[in-house]
Amino acid sequence: MSPLQNALTQLKKAAELVKLDAAVLEILKKPKKIHEFSIPVKMDSGETKVFDGYRVQWNDARGPFKGGIRFHPKTDLNEVEALSFWMTIKCAAVGIPYGGGKGGVTVDPKKLSKTELERLSRGYTQALKDYIGPERDIPAPDVYTTPQIMGWIMDEFSKIKGYNVPGVVTGKPLEIGGSAGRGTATAQGGFYILEEVAKKFHPMGDDPKGQKIKNKKLSVVIQGFGNAGANMADLCFHAGYKIIGISDSQTAIIDKSGKGFDSHTIAKMKEKKGVVDVCECKEIKCACKDHVHTTNEKLLETDCDILILAALENQITKKNVGRVKAKVILELANGPTAPEADEKLFKKNVLVVPDVLANAGGVTVSYFEWVQNLANYYWSEKEVFEKLKKIMVENFDAAWKIKEQNKTDLRTAVFALALGRLEKAIKARGWA
């Protein structure tokens, strides 16, 4: 099924559970506005290439549209629609005052030079100049978009307005109004959730103080080595989890020493921003001999306590779900588990911590960035993470209660939490 079909299937299930008002459901099933446009870009060679761009503004009942922009060769309107719907649920699930939106450009940014990428980013901003802004719609990074790209967008928008508008976009470099902690926020938020899961979910250890996180050395496999995956690997490693498998978009490696990757390997991967290079290293200390290369499919089937999905949509589907051995799946990516797979995992007692909560740390710190921009007053990283932890843990607890009370899966419970908030806002506005 397409990402949008998956998203709407999840909506239907949760709407039934909470007996959502029929009119509210109709509103939430559709995007408020779709922007579809082409972006001509002068390439360094002198020729002009035209790229397809999108911005979907799903719902703004709870506040301005909010969500990242994805630059990916396989991005299309269906995917961007699904992602903007998930942003609507996500912002409501953590109770931040935003609606949901998402953008995308069908492009392989790895094939563009820096100047071409800059022209594309500025072109994207020009196309949306009347539809984005701190009170309207606030983009941010997503797959293959960076703080530098956010800096160009902020600059282009500010030039159009004739004054500085830092709050038009989040995930900016620190020097021009970015927030401390935003770079690692998605992983950090997911990590706070993981530690809560480790305390509550018995198969992972039932020590009342949660001490088993360190003692038992839970084994972790991470699919994806972008911003979320790489930072999560770092956090898990330093908290004492045993990382036994990692992949990037090219390859995957599995530990065969039985001890998990060592600090040298983790550091090397972080430095090289990927998996391939670490195994090509020639240094004596390089732990390559302890790894075996494998495919992405095999990585997902590795026997482990926690499988962290930090790549793209539709990774666990009805085709491979039967071979998944993890006890917990944490979704740092958006939409990595398809609904049919979700059902099977629930029956097998595998806990799936859904994207709309597990990766909400990114947009939550985006919210903090926007607040700091509007106030022109900046916080320390410590303050940012304290506030982030409070939001993540409180909403995790609220969702967990719904899950226990209704004997449902955690995704449906998080959706239920979000739908309750959305329904109240939609009714308060008189839309339904």
The tokens for 17 are 């559970």
| Cα-based torsion angle of the residue sequence 371, 375, 379, 383 in order, rounded to the nearest 10 degrees | -50
Distance CA 240, CA 249 (A): 26
Binding pattern to ligand GLU, positions 170-189, x when CB under 6 A? x-------------------
Please count the residues of this chain forming the interface with ligand GLU, following the rule CB under 6 A.
Answer: 11
147 lines the binding site for ligand GLU (CB under 6 A): no
Distance CA 23, CA 426 (A): 10
> To the nearest whole angstrom, how small is the minimum distance from the Cβ of residue 315 to ligand GLU?
16
96 lines the binding site for ligand GLU (CB under 6 A): no
Best CA proximity match to 186, nearest among 113, 120, 94: 94
- Check residue 50 and report its DSSP letter: E
Contact by Cβ (8 Å): 332, 186: yes
Which stretch, 34-42, 48-56, 63-71, 191-199, contacts ligand GLU (CB under 6 A)? 63-71
> To the nearest whole angstrom, how small is the minimum distance from the Cβ of residue 381 to ligand GLU?
17
Amino acid at site 129: K
Beta-carbon contacts of residue 422 (< 8 Å; ≥ 6 apart):
24, 28, 59, 61, 62, 88, 89, 92
Distance CA 156, CA 129 (A): 9
Q: Is 209 annotated in the active site?
A: no
84 lines the binding site for ligand GLU (CB under 6 A): no
Which stretch, 60-68, 209-217, 388-396, 410-418, contacts ligand GLU (CB under 6 A)? 60-68
414 lines the binding site for ligand GLU (CB under 6 A): no
Distance CA 421, CA 125 (A): 31
> To the nearest whole angstrom, how small is the minimum distance from the Cβ of residue 388 to ligand GLU?
12
227 lines the binding site for ligand GLU (CB under 6 A): no
Binding pattern to ligand GLU, positions 105-144, x when CB under 6 A? -----------------------------------x-x--
67 lines the binding site for ligand GLU (CB under 6 A): yes
Strand partners, 255: 291
79 lines the binding site for ligand GLU (CB under 6 A): no
- Check residue 217 and report its DSSP letter: I
Binding pattern to ligand GLU, positions 348-367, x when CB under 6 A? -----------x--xx--x-
68 lines the binding site for ligand GLU (CB under 6 A): yes
Q: Which is nearer to ligand GLU, 67 or 147 (CB)?
A: 67
Q: How far is Cα of residue 13 from the mean position of the Cα atoms in its chain?
A: 22
Q: Which is nearer to ligand GLU, 6 or 359 (CB)?
A: 359
66 lines the binding site for ligand GLU (CB under 6 A): yes
Q: Which is nearer to ligand GLU, 125 or 265 (CB)?
A: 125
Distance CA 23, CA 314 (A): 29
Question: Within positions 19 to 48, which residues make up the interface with ligand GLU, using CB under 6 A?
Answer: none
Catalytic residue among 13, 102, 268, 403: 102
Q: Which of 315, 334, 337, 412 binds ligand GLU (CB under 6 A)?
A: 334
Distance CA 414, CA 226 (A): 25
Sign of CA dihedral 127, 133, 139, 145: positive
Helix axes of 3-18 and 339-347: crossing angle, nearest 10 degrees: 50
Return the SS3 of 104: strand
417 lines the binding site for ligand GLU (CB under 6 A): no
CB atoms within 10 A of CB 34: 15
Largest CA distance in the chain: 68
Binding pattern to ligand GLU, positions 279-318, x when CB under 6 A? ----------------------------------------
Q: Which residues are designated catalytic? A: 102
Where does this chain bind ligand GLU (CB under 6 A)? Answer: 66-68, 140, 142, 170, 334, 359, 362-363, 366
